[in-house]
Amino acid sequence: MSVWMIVGIVVAVWIAVSVPLALLVVGVIRRRDRQVEELPPARDTGRSGGRPSGGSRGARR
C-alpha cells in the first residue's frame, strides 16, 4: 500500500507542477509570436543568436 501512496503523491505533484508550467510556456510562445509578427524577419534572425525561429518551436514542444 505504501508504494501506491508514493506513486500517487509523485503523480499528483508532477501534474500540479506541469500544468501551470505548460500554461506559462504557451503564454510565452504566444507573446513571442506577437513580437515576431511586429518585427521584420531580417532583424529577428539577427537578434535570436543564430537559432532558427519559427520551425523549431513545434519540434521542441
DSSP of the chain: -HHHHHHHHHHHHHHHHHHHHHHHHHHHHHHHHHHHHHS-HHHHHHHTTTPPPSHHHHHH-
Q: What's the chain's Rg over C-alpha atoms?
A: 18
| Domain extent listing, the chain | 1-35
Question: In sequence order, what are the residues at sequence separation of 6 or more whose Cβ sits closer than 8 angstroms to the Cβ of residue 47?
Answer: 39
- Cell representation of residue 7: 506513486
Q: Would you say residue 61 has pLDDT above 50?
A: no
Q: 7-55 pLDDT, tens per residue?
A: 999 999 999 999 999 999 988 888 877 776 665 555 545 555 555 555 5
